[in-house]
Structure formats: C-alpha cells, structure tokens
Structure 1
C-alpha cells in the first residue's frame, strides 16, 4: 500500500506525509504513481473538452 496524506499545518502551510508498506518495492510504487498520473491527465482533459463552448 502507498498512501499520501496532505496535512494542513497550524501555521497555515501545507505538509505531506507518505507511507509505504514493506511488501512493495520502488518499481511497484513508481508504476502505481505513473498510472495514477495518467488517470488524472485523462480526467482533466475530459473536463476541459466538456467546457469548450464551440
């Protein structure tokens, strides 16, 4: 499991925490992140297409 947690710090800044289970190696983690980035790109592109008035 790979988890990213966004933290709202008391001073108003943003922090990040990352946790990875022992069973996953760096290659698996990188593949998971790359796949999720591609998913986010597709979602963003689809939302841009929906808002095009032409």
Structure 2
C-alpha cells in the first residue's frame, strides 16, 4: 500500500486501483499487464479494505 503507482512495462490497459498514502484514498489507474508492484487491486473496495488505516 505504501508503494507508488506503477503501471508496469507491457502495453495492456487494465483498470486497477492503488492506494495513495498521502490522501489515504484509492485511485484508478491503468495497469499494463506485467511488472508493477503489489499496490494494485481489482476494486476500490478491495483496495480500501486492505490499505486504509483501521480506526
């Protein structure tokens, strides 16, 4: 969750969500299909559930 958005190094455009630590929100981005990092989720809810700080 603390990694920056990384679209990867291929040419696909797959809608994914990544957690942005500064805003504590999940942001849509387009993943290329390979490479990248673990800050990549299929849905905004999955991203929030996994990354948002619990209060």
Greater Rg by CA: 1
TM-score range for the pair, normalised by the shorter chain length? under 0.3
Higher relative contact order (CA 8 A, sep 6+): 2
Q: TM-score, normalised by structure 2?
A: 0.21
Task: Please state which structure has a larger fraction of its residues in helix.
Answer: 1
